[in-house]
A = this chain, B = another copy of it.
Amino acid sequence: MTSKTKSQTPGAGDIEQLLARRRQFMGSQLYMFYDPPLHLMRSEGVWLYDAKRRVYLDAYNNVPHVGHCHPHVVEAIARQAARLNTNTRYLSDEVLNYAERLTATLPAGLDVAAFVNSGSEAVDLAWRMAKAHTGQHGAIVMEEAYHGWTDAVDALSPAGKAERALAPHVRMLMAPDSYRGPYGPEVADRAMRYASDAERAIESLNAAGLRPAAFIVDPGFCTNGILEPLPGYLALIFEKMRAAGAVCVADEVQTGFGRIGSDMWGFGVHGVTPDIVTMGKPVANGHPLGVVVTRREIMESFMSRTSFFSTFGGNNVACAAGMAVLDVLEREQLQASAQQVGEHLKAGLRALQRKHDLIGDVRGMGLVIGVELVTNRKAKTPASKEAKRVLNLMRDHGVLVGYEGHAANIVKVRPPMPFKIEHADQTVDAMDKALRAL
Protein backbone atom coordinates (compact mmCIF):
# COMPACT_ATOMS: atom_id res chain seq x y z
CA MET A 1 0.00 0.00 0.00
CA THR A 2 3.07 2.29 0.16
CA SER A 3 6.41 2.19 -1.63
CA LYS A 4 8.38 0.67 1.25
CA THR A 5 10.86 -1.98 0.13
CA LYS A 6 9.66 -5.52 0.66
CA SER A 7 12.25 -7.95 2.01
CA GLN A 8 12.53 -11.40 0.49
CA THR A 9 10.80 -14.13 2.46
CA PRO A 10 13.69 -16.39 3.42
CA GLY A 11 14.03 -20.13 3.23
CA ALA A 12 12.65 -21.89 6.28
CA GLY A 13 16.02 -22.73 7.79
CA ASP A 14 17.69 -19.38 7.50
CA ILE A 15 17.90 -18.28 11.14
CA GLU A 16 20.23 -15.36 10.41
CA GLN A 17 17.87 -13.92 7.82
CA LEU A 18 14.91 -14.34 10.19
CA LEU A 19 16.84 -12.55 12.93
CA ALA A 20 17.62 -9.71 10.51
CA ARG A 21 13.92 -9.38 9.63
CA ARG A 22 13.06 -9.47 13.32
CA ARG A 23 15.46 -6.59 14.01
CA GLN A 24 14.04 -4.73 11.01
CA PHE A 25 10.35 -5.05 11.87
CA MET A 26 10.33 -5.61 15.66
CA GLY A 27 13.49 -3.87 16.93
CA SER A 28 16.82 -5.28 18.05
CA GLN A 29 16.24 -5.96 21.73
CA LEU A 30 13.43 -8.48 22.04
CA TYR A 31 14.74 -11.35 24.16
CA MET A 32 14.68 -14.88 22.73
CA PHE A 33 15.03 -18.33 24.25
CA TYR A 34 18.11 -20.45 23.35
CA ASP A 35 21.15 -19.70 21.29
CA PRO A 36 20.64 -20.12 18.40
CA PRO A 37 16.89 -19.57 18.79
CA LEU A 38 14.26 -22.02 17.60
CA HIS A 39 12.32 -21.44 14.39
CA LEU A 40 9.03 -23.19 15.15
CA MET A 41 6.60 -24.44 12.54
CA ARG A 42 4.17 -26.85 14.17
CA SER A 43 3.17 -28.25 17.55
CA GLU A 44 1.03 -31.02 19.01
CA GLY A 45 0.46 -32.12 22.60
CA VAL A 46 3.84 -31.86 24.35
CA TRP A 47 5.79 -31.65 21.08
CA LEU A 48 7.21 -28.71 19.13
CA TYR A 49 8.62 -29.04 15.59
CA ASP A 50 11.14 -26.66 14.06
CA ALA A 51 11.70 -25.66 10.43
CA LYS A 52 14.16 -28.52 9.98
CA ARG A 53 11.49 -30.97 11.19
CA ARG A 54 13.37 -31.57 14.41
CA VAL A 55 11.09 -32.50 17.26
CA TYR A 56 11.38 -31.11 20.78
CA LEU A 57 9.72 -32.22 23.99
CA ASP A 58 8.14 -29.10 25.47
CA ALA A 59 8.95 -29.20 29.19
CA TYR A 60 8.55 -25.45 29.60
CA ASN A 61 5.38 -23.88 28.19
CA ASN A 62 2.39 -23.59 30.52
CA VAL A 63 0.33 -21.49 28.10
CA PRO A 64 -0.69 -24.51 25.96
CA HIS A 65 -2.06 -25.88 29.22
CA VAL A 66 -3.97 -28.93 27.95
CA GLY A 67 -1.39 -29.51 25.20
CA HIS A 68 -0.40 -27.63 22.06
CA CYS A 69 -3.22 -27.43 19.52
CA HIS A 70 -5.52 -29.70 21.54
CA PRO A 71 -8.20 -30.75 19.01
CA HIS A 72 -11.08 -30.08 21.42
CA VAL A 73 -9.91 -26.51 22.01
CA VAL A 74 -9.10 -25.91 18.33
CA GLU A 75 -12.54 -27.20 17.35
CA ALA A 76 -14.26 -24.94 19.93
CA ILE A 77 -12.37 -21.90 18.59
CA ALA A 78 -13.06 -22.74 14.94
CA ARG A 79 -16.75 -23.45 15.56
CA GLN A 80 -17.41 -20.33 17.60
CA ALA A 81 -15.32 -18.04 15.33
CA ALA A 82 -17.54 -19.14 12.42
CA ARG A 83 -20.75 -18.51 14.38
CA LEU A 84 -20.57 -15.37 16.53
CA ASN A 85 -17.83 -13.30 18.13
CA THR A 86 -18.99 -10.13 19.84
CA ASN A 87 -18.86 -8.26 23.12
CA THR A 88 -20.60 -8.23 26.50
CA ARG A 89 -22.78 -5.22 25.66
CA TYR A 90 -25.09 -7.92 24.28
CA LEU A 91 -26.38 -11.01 26.03
CA SER A 92 -24.73 -14.19 24.88
CA ASP A 93 -24.66 -17.72 26.20
CA GLU A 94 -20.91 -18.35 25.95
CA VAL A 95 -19.80 -15.76 28.52
CA LEU A 96 -22.56 -16.66 30.99
CA ASN A 97 -21.95 -20.39 30.75
CA TYR A 98 -18.21 -19.89 31.15
CA ALA A 99 -18.52 -17.43 34.05
CA GLU A 100 -20.80 -19.90 35.83
CA ARG A 101 -18.54 -22.90 35.25
CA LEU A 102 -15.31 -21.08 36.10
CA THR A 103 -16.59 -19.51 39.32
CA ALA A 104 -17.89 -22.97 40.35
CA THR A 105 -14.26 -24.17 40.54
CA LEU A 106 -13.52 -21.53 43.22
CA PRO A 107 -14.49 -21.39 46.90
CA ALA A 108 -17.84 -19.86 47.88
CA GLY A 109 -17.61 -16.09 48.02
CA LEU A 110 -15.48 -15.85 44.87
CA ASP A 111 -18.61 -15.60 42.79
CA VAL A 112 -18.33 -12.98 40.05
CA ALA A 113 -16.04 -12.77 37.04
CA ALA A 114 -14.76 -9.98 34.81
CA PHE A 115 -13.15 -10.79 31.49
CA VAL A 116 -10.13 -9.21 29.84
CA ASN A 117 -7.42 -10.36 27.41
CA SER A 118 -4.25 -11.26 29.32
CA GLY A 119 -2.80 -11.88 32.74
CA SER A 120 -1.36 -8.34 32.72
CA GLU A 121 -4.82 -6.91 32.11
CA ALA A 122 -6.27 -9.16 34.82
CA VAL A 123 -3.79 -7.89 37.44
CA ASP A 124 -4.24 -4.30 36.22
CA LEU A 125 -8.01 -4.64 36.70
CA ALA A 126 -7.57 -6.34 40.10
CA TRP A 127 -5.38 -3.41 41.16
CA ARG A 128 -8.04 -0.90 40.06
CA MET A 129 -10.69 -2.93 41.93
CA ALA A 130 -8.56 -3.03 45.08
CA LYS A 131 -8.02 0.76 45.06
CA ALA A 132 -11.70 1.48 44.35
CA HIS A 133 -12.93 -0.92 47.04
CA THR A 134 -10.51 -0.01 49.84
CA GLY A 135 -10.02 3.68 49.05
CA GLN A 136 -6.32 3.01 49.79
CA HIS A 137 -3.42 3.39 47.36
CA GLY A 138 -0.39 1.39 48.51
CA ALA A 139 0.63 -2.06 47.27
CA ILE A 140 2.59 -4.90 48.85
CA VAL A 141 4.15 -7.58 46.66
CA MET A 142 6.87 -10.22 47.04
CA GLU A 143 10.48 -9.32 46.29
CA GLU A 144 11.29 -10.37 42.69
CA ALA A 145 7.56 -10.56 41.90
CA TYR A 146 6.48 -10.33 38.27
CA HIS A 147 2.78 -9.74 37.63
CA GLY A 148 2.76 -8.27 34.11
CA TRP A 149 3.82 -5.34 31.98
CA THR A 150 1.12 -2.63 31.86
CA ASP A 151 2.30 0.67 33.33
CA ALA A 152 0.51 0.07 36.65
CA VAL A 153 1.43 -3.62 36.90
CA ASP A 154 5.03 -3.00 35.91
CA ALA A 155 5.18 -0.82 39.03
CA LEU A 156 3.93 -3.83 41.02
CA SER A 157 6.67 -6.06 39.55
CA PRO A 158 10.06 -5.60 41.23
CA ALA A 159 11.65 -8.42 39.16
CA GLY A 160 14.76 -7.12 37.45
CA LYS A 161 14.59 -3.67 39.04
CA ALA A 162 16.88 -2.12 41.64
CA GLU A 163 15.07 -1.48 44.94
CA ARG A 164 15.56 2.28 44.58
CA ALA A 165 13.63 2.05 41.28
CA LEU A 166 10.49 0.86 43.10
CA ALA A 167 7.48 3.16 42.79
CA PRO A 168 6.80 5.14 45.99
CA HIS A 169 3.50 3.31 46.64
CA VAL A 170 5.01 -0.20 46.51
CA ARG A 171 6.70 -2.26 49.22
CA MET A 172 8.20 -5.75 48.91
CA LEU A 173 8.08 -8.71 51.30
CA MET A 174 11.03 -11.01 51.86
CA ALA A 175 10.39 -14.33 50.09
CA PRO A 176 9.74 -17.31 52.42
CA ASP A 177 12.71 -19.14 50.91
CA SER A 178 13.75 -22.08 53.11
CA TYR A 179 16.76 -22.80 50.85
CA ARG A 180 18.36 -19.36 50.62
CA GLY A 181 16.51 -17.20 53.11
CA PRO A 182 17.61 -16.44 56.68
CA TYR A 183 15.28 -19.08 58.21
CA GLY A 184 15.93 -22.61 56.96
CA PRO A 185 14.06 -25.88 57.63
CA GLU A 186 15.76 -26.10 61.03
CA VAL A 187 13.83 -23.03 62.24
CA ALA A 188 10.54 -24.38 63.57
CA ASP A 189 8.64 -21.08 63.63
CA ARG A 190 9.98 -19.81 60.32
CA ALA A 191 6.49 -19.17 58.86
CA MET A 192 5.95 -16.65 61.66
CA ARG A 193 9.40 -15.16 61.22
CA TYR A 194 9.02 -14.67 57.46
CA ALA A 195 5.49 -13.34 57.95
CA SER A 196 6.73 -10.71 60.41
CA ASP A 197 8.10 -8.83 57.40
CA ALA A 198 4.50 -7.78 56.66
CA GLU A 199 4.44 -5.38 59.62
CA ARG A 200 7.61 -3.68 58.41
CA ALA A 201 6.14 -3.22 54.91
CA ILE A 202 2.80 -1.91 56.21
CA GLU A 203 4.55 0.48 58.61
CA SER A 204 6.84 1.69 55.84
CA LEU A 205 3.79 2.51 53.73
CA ASN A 206 2.15 4.22 56.71
CA ALA A 207 5.29 6.31 57.25
CA ALA A 208 4.84 7.57 53.66
CA GLY A 209 1.22 8.44 54.38
CA LEU A 210 -0.10 5.38 52.57
CA ARG A 211 -2.11 2.30 53.44
CA PRO A 212 -2.13 -0.90 51.39
CA ALA A 213 -4.97 -1.36 48.88
CA ALA A 214 -3.73 -4.78 47.85
CA PHE A 215 -1.34 -7.57 48.67
CA ILE A 216 -0.61 -9.50 45.47
CA VAL A 217 1.05 -12.91 45.46
CA ASP A 218 1.81 -15.77 43.09
CA PRO A 219 1.08 -18.80 45.35
CA GLY A 220 3.90 -20.72 43.62
CA PHE A 221 6.46 -17.96 44.29
CA CYS A 222 7.80 -18.75 40.82
CA THR A 223 9.92 -15.64 40.26
CA ASN A 224 11.36 -16.18 43.76
CA GLY A 225 12.74 -19.42 42.35
CA ILE A 226 9.65 -21.66 42.69
CA LEU A 227 9.18 -22.14 46.44
CA GLU A 228 7.30 -24.97 48.10
CA PRO A 229 4.50 -23.84 50.42
CA LEU A 230 5.60 -22.89 53.92
CA PRO A 231 2.62 -24.06 56.04
CA GLY A 232 0.85 -21.19 57.73
CA TYR A 233 2.90 -18.42 56.10
CA LEU A 234 0.31 -17.09 53.65
CA ALA A 235 -2.52 -17.31 56.20
CA LEU A 236 -0.50 -15.10 58.56
CA ILE A 237 0.27 -12.61 55.78
CA PHE A 238 -3.39 -12.47 54.64
CA GLU A 239 -4.46 -11.79 58.24
CA LYS A 240 -2.03 -8.90 58.64
CA MET A 241 -2.89 -7.43 55.23
CA ARG A 242 -6.62 -7.56 55.91
CA ALA A 243 -6.08 -5.96 59.31
CA ALA A 244 -4.39 -3.08 57.43
CA GLY A 245 -7.44 -2.78 55.15
CA ALA A 246 -5.92 -4.42 52.07
CA VAL A 247 -7.56 -6.98 49.82
CA CYS A 248 -5.53 -10.13 49.06
CA VAL A 249 -4.98 -11.05 45.43
CA ALA A 250 -3.85 -14.50 44.30
CA ASP A 251 -2.23 -14.23 40.89
CA GLU A 252 -2.92 -17.70 39.47
CA VAL A 253 -1.27 -17.05 36.10
CA GLN A 254 1.43 -19.61 36.97
CA THR A 255 -0.21 -22.04 39.37
CA GLY A 256 -3.87 -22.17 38.35
CA PHE A 257 -5.99 -24.78 36.57
CA GLY A 258 -4.68 -27.84 38.36
CA ARG A 259 -0.98 -27.38 37.62
CA ILE A 260 0.13 -27.87 41.23
CA GLY A 261 -1.59 -31.27 41.29
CA SER A 262 -2.94 -31.25 44.82
CA ASP A 263 -5.31 -28.33 44.18
CA MET A 264 -7.12 -26.68 41.30
CA TRP A 265 -5.72 -23.31 42.47
CA GLY A 266 -2.36 -22.41 43.95
CA PHE A 267 -3.84 -20.62 46.95
CA GLY A 268 -5.62 -23.84 47.99
CA VAL A 269 -2.42 -25.52 49.11
CA HIS A 270 -1.79 -22.60 51.48
CA GLY A 271 -5.19 -22.97 53.15
CA VAL A 272 -6.26 -19.40 52.32
CA THR A 273 -9.07 -17.84 50.31
CA PRO A 274 -8.11 -14.64 48.49
CA ASP A 275 -10.44 -11.70 47.83
CA ILE A 276 -9.48 -11.53 44.16
CA VAL A 277 -8.08 -14.20 41.84
CA THR A 278 -6.34 -13.27 38.58
CA MET A 279 -5.95 -15.70 35.67
CA GLY A 280 -4.00 -15.52 32.45
CA LYS A 281 -1.58 -17.70 30.48
CA PRO A 282 -3.16 -21.21 30.73
CA VAL A 283 -6.80 -20.10 30.92
CA ALA A 284 -7.67 -20.60 27.22
CA ASN A 285 -4.66 -22.63 26.05
CA GLY A 286 -3.01 -19.62 24.39
CA HIS A 287 -6.08 -17.86 23.06
CA PRO A 288 -5.77 -14.37 24.61
CA LEU A 289 -7.94 -14.33 27.72
CA GLY A 290 -7.56 -12.98 31.21
CA VAL A 291 -10.08 -13.30 34.04
CA VAL A 292 -10.59 -11.62 37.39
CA VAL A 293 -12.83 -13.48 39.84
CA THR A 294 -13.74 -11.69 43.02
CA ARG A 295 -16.25 -11.20 45.79
CA ARG A 296 -19.56 -9.61 44.82
CA GLU A 297 -19.07 -6.56 47.05
CA ILE A 298 -15.67 -5.78 45.46
CA MET A 299 -17.05 -6.03 41.93
CA GLU A 300 -20.03 -3.84 42.85
CA SER A 301 -17.98 -1.17 44.57
CA PHE A 302 -15.58 -1.03 41.61
CA MET A 303 -18.32 -0.94 38.95
CA SER A 304 -20.31 1.69 40.82
CA ARG A 305 -17.29 4.03 40.64
CA THR A 306 -16.19 3.38 37.04
CA SER A 307 -17.50 2.51 33.62
CA PHE A 308 -15.12 -0.39 33.04
CA PHE A 309 -15.59 -2.24 29.77
CA SER A 310 -13.16 -4.40 27.79
CA THR A 311 -14.05 -4.60 24.08
CA PHE A 312 -12.61 -8.07 23.51
CA GLY A 313 -13.02 -9.24 27.11
CA GLY A 314 -15.57 -12.03 27.38
CA ASN A 315 -15.94 -12.40 23.62
CA ASN A 316 -17.70 -15.58 22.53
CA VAL A 317 -14.63 -17.27 21.03
CA ALA A 318 -12.39 -16.71 24.06
CA CYS A 319 -15.12 -18.04 26.34
CA ALA A 320 -15.60 -21.09 24.11
CA ALA A 321 -11.84 -21.71 24.28
CA GLY A 322 -11.81 -21.29 28.06
CA MET A 323 -14.75 -23.69 28.37
CA ALA A 324 -12.99 -26.27 26.18
CA VAL A 325 -9.93 -26.09 28.46
CA LEU A 326 -12.13 -26.92 31.47
CA ASP A 327 -13.67 -29.82 29.49
CA VAL A 328 -10.27 -31.32 28.71
CA LEU A 329 -8.96 -30.81 32.26
CA GLU A 330 -11.89 -32.86 33.53
CA ARG A 331 -12.05 -35.52 30.81
CA GLU A 332 -8.33 -36.23 30.79
CA GLN A 333 -8.03 -35.82 34.58
CA LEU A 334 -5.01 -33.61 34.10
CA GLN A 335 -4.85 -32.31 37.66
CA ALA A 336 -4.42 -35.84 39.05
CA SER A 337 -1.91 -36.56 36.30
CA ALA A 338 0.07 -33.42 37.18
CA GLN A 339 0.25 -34.62 40.77
CA GLN A 340 1.44 -38.10 39.83
CA VAL A 341 3.83 -37.16 37.01
CA GLY A 342 5.12 -34.21 39.04
CA GLU A 343 6.05 -36.49 41.97
CA HIS A 344 7.78 -38.92 39.59
CA LEU A 345 9.64 -36.04 37.91
CA LYS A 346 10.72 -34.55 41.22
CA ALA A 347 11.97 -37.97 42.40
CA GLY A 348 13.95 -38.36 39.16
CA LEU A 349 15.48 -34.91 39.54
CA ARG A 350 16.35 -35.61 43.18
CA ALA A 351 18.11 -38.79 42.04
CA LEU A 352 20.09 -36.60 39.63
CA GLN A 353 20.92 -34.31 42.54
CA ARG A 354 22.67 -37.22 44.24
CA LYS A 355 24.84 -37.68 41.10
CA HIS A 356 25.57 -34.04 40.25
CA ASP A 357 27.00 -31.61 42.81
CA LEU A 358 25.81 -28.74 40.65
CA ILE A 359 22.20 -29.37 41.71
CA GLY A 360 21.73 -27.58 45.01
CA ASP A 361 18.00 -28.02 45.39
CA VAL A 362 14.96 -29.54 43.70
CA ARG A 363 11.55 -28.16 44.63
CA GLY A 364 8.07 -27.42 43.40
CA MET A 365 4.54 -28.72 43.26
CA GLY A 366 2.89 -30.81 40.57
CA LEU A 367 4.15 -29.72 37.17
CA VAL A 368 5.99 -26.58 38.20
CA ILE A 369 9.43 -27.59 39.38
CA GLY A 370 12.68 -25.71 39.91
CA VAL A 371 16.15 -27.23 39.85
CA GLU A 372 18.53 -24.79 41.50
CA LEU A 373 22.08 -24.98 40.19
CA VAL A 374 24.96 -23.88 42.45
CA THR A 375 28.72 -24.08 41.95
CA ASN A 376 29.17 -24.69 45.68
CA ARG A 377 26.55 -26.44 47.76
CA LYS A 378 27.66 -24.89 51.02
CA ALA A 379 28.00 -21.30 49.78
CA LYS A 380 25.03 -21.86 47.41
CA THR A 381 26.83 -19.78 44.75
CA PRO A 382 24.39 -19.40 41.83
CA ALA A 383 25.56 -21.34 38.76
CA SER A 384 24.07 -18.86 36.29
CA LYS A 385 26.42 -19.54 33.37
CA GLU A 386 26.02 -23.28 33.84
CA ALA A 387 22.22 -22.97 33.87
CA LYS A 388 22.32 -21.22 30.52
CA ARG A 389 24.53 -23.98 29.09
CA VAL A 390 22.26 -26.67 30.52
CA LEU A 391 19.28 -25.07 28.73
CA ASN A 392 21.09 -25.07 25.40
CA LEU A 393 22.50 -28.57 25.88
CA MET A 394 19.08 -29.95 26.81
CA ARG A 395 17.70 -28.27 23.69
CA ASP A 396 20.38 -30.12 21.70
CA HIS A 397 19.07 -33.30 23.33
CA GLY A 398 15.54 -32.41 22.23
CA VAL A 399 14.07 -31.17 25.51
CA LEU A 400 13.03 -27.56 26.11
CA VAL A 401 13.21 -26.09 29.62
CA GLY A 402 13.54 -22.52 30.92
CA TYR A 403 15.12 -20.72 33.83
CA GLU A 404 13.90 -18.72 36.80
CA GLY A 405 15.20 -16.65 39.72
CA HIS A 406 17.02 -13.33 39.76
CA ALA A 407 20.39 -15.03 39.20
CA ALA A 408 18.83 -17.09 36.38
CA ASN A 409 20.32 -20.23 37.94
CA ILE A 410 17.15 -22.22 38.51
CA VAL A 411 16.17 -24.57 35.71
CA LYS A 412 12.39 -24.36 35.33
CA VAL A 413 10.37 -27.41 34.31
CA ARG A 414 6.77 -26.39 33.70
CA PRO A 415 5.38 -28.43 30.81
CA PRO A 416 1.93 -28.65 29.24
CA MET A 417 -0.34 -30.72 31.51
CA PRO A 418 -0.53 -33.89 29.32
CA PHE A 419 3.11 -34.51 30.27
CA LYS A 420 3.41 -38.23 31.04
CA ILE A 421 5.81 -40.43 33.01
CA GLU A 422 7.87 -41.15 29.87
CA HIS A 423 8.18 -37.41 29.18
CA ALA A 424 9.37 -36.86 32.75
CA ASP A 425 11.96 -39.62 32.24
CA GLN A 426 13.10 -38.09 28.94
CA THR A 427 13.54 -34.72 30.69
CA VAL A 428 15.59 -36.20 33.53
CA ASP A 429 17.71 -38.12 31.03
CA ALA A 430 18.36 -34.99 28.93
CA MET A 431 19.31 -33.03 32.05
CA ASP A 432 21.64 -35.83 33.12
CA LYS A 433 23.37 -35.74 29.70
CA ALA A 434 23.58 -31.94 29.80
CA LEU A 435 25.12 -31.95 33.28
CA ARG A 436 27.67 -34.60 32.25
CA ALA A 437 28.64 -32.55 29.19
CA LEU A 438 29.23 -29.30 31.09
Contact = CB atoms under 8 A, between A and B. Distances in A.
Contacts of A384: none
B26 A113 contact: yes
A409 B153 CA distance: 36
Contacts of A15: 91
A199 to B, nearest CB: 27
A113 B23 CA distance: 10
A185 interface: no
A27 B61 contact: no
Contacts of A116: 118
A271 interface: no
Interface string A296-335: 1001100110111111111101100000000000100000
Given A28-B300, A43-B86, 13 more contacts: A2-B106, A6-B100, A26-B96, A30-B303, A38-B91, A39-B90, A40-B84, A63-B87, A77-B77, A77-B81, A116-B118, A117-B117, A128-B154
A33 B89 contact: yes
Contacts of A317: 286-287
A277 to B, nearest CB: 14
Interface in A177-229: none
Nearest to A82: B74
Contact of A38 (B90, B111, B289, B313): B90
16 contacts: A2-B106, A4-B108, A25-B96, A25-B111, A27-B299, A29-B300, A39-B92, A41-B83, A43-B83, A69-B84, A73-B81, A74-B78, A117-B118, A117-B312, A127-B151, A286-B317
A261 interface: no
A379 interface: no
Interface of A: 1-2, 4, 6-7, 9, 15, 18-19, 21-22, 24-33, 37-43, 48, 61, 63-64, 68-69, 71, 73-74, 77-78, 81-93, 95-97, 99-100, 103-108, 111-114, 116-121, 124-125, 127-128, 149-154, 160, 264, 280-281, 286-289, 296, 299-300, 303-304, 306-315, 317-318, 330
A61 B81 contact: no
B69 A81 contact: yes
Nearest to A157: B307
A6 B119 contact: no
Contact of A288 (B38, B69, B89, B315): B315
Contact of A91 (B22, B99, B154): B22
Sorted nearest first, the 7 A-B pairs with minimum C-beta distance are A151-B152, A78-B78, A29-B303, A25-B99, A288-B288, A117-B117, A288-B312
A37 B95 CA distance: 15
Q: Which of A28, A91, A108 has the most CB of B within 10 A?
A: A91
A303 B7 CA distance: 24
Contact of A22 (B77, B96, B111, B286): B96
A212 to B, nearest CB: 16
A245 B196 CA distance: 46
A63 B105 CA distance: 32
Contacts of A82: 69, 71, 74, 78
A117 B311 CA distance: 11
Contacts of A37: 89-91
Given A77-B81, A121-B118, A151-B128, A311 B63 contact: yes
A293 B131 CA distance: 32
Nearest to A149: B308
B19 A91 contact: yes
A311 B284 CA distance: 13
Contacts of A6: 100, 104
Given A1-B105, A104-B1, A32 B150 contact: no
A314 B92 CA distance: 28
Contacts of A1: 104-105, 264, 330
Nearest to A119: B311
A357 to B, nearest CB: 30
Nearest to A86: B40
A128 B125 CA distance: 18
B304 A29 contact: yes
